[in-house]
Amino acid sequence: MSVGPHQHHATQTLVVTIPTDRIVDWDSFHSVFKEVFGFPEFYGRNQDAWIDCMGYVDDPQSGMTNVCIAPGNVLALRIDDAVDFKRRCPEQYSALIECAAFVNYRRWNAGEKTLLTLMLTGHF
């Protein structure tokens, strides 16, 4: 199907809930994301490695994650009770926001569509 100048593909969003109630420190942060997304065995368990893995969610051939979206679609990271996560783990909360933004920045800067969005729920 070709898309003309006045037609648009519908962007689909895959929502993945991150069990942040299991995150208490950096080790558990990386363990949770590795488990949820199936990061490879060589996952470096640091922010750079997280950014690298999450930057490939639309490239199943990369083997960087088991959770994949079609090119042009969006992956929403759902964080339930985000206020509690921020209170308990302020460093990890901030890093999640900054790293997700950097994944998108790197893609945008390369002329590609952004991949990630955050869905923060709770009473703010």
The pLDDT tens digits for 12-59 are 999 999 999 999 999 999 999 999 999 999 999 999 999 999 999 999
Q: How far apart are CA 56 and CA 27, in angstroms?
A: 22
Q: Render 18-63 in DSSP notation, one character per residue.
A: --GGG--SHHHHHHHHHHHHT--TT--SSHHHHHHHHTTTT-GGG-
* pTM score of the predicted model: 0.89
Q: How far apart are CA 22 and CA 28, in angstroms?
A: 7
Domain definitions of the chain by residue range? 25-120
CATH architecture of 25-120: 2-Layer Sandwich (3.30)
Stated as kind and residue range, the H or E segment containing 117 is strand 116-120
Q: What is the pLDDT of residues 69-114, one digit of tens each?
A: 999 999 999 999 999 999 999 999 999 999 999 999 999 999 999 9
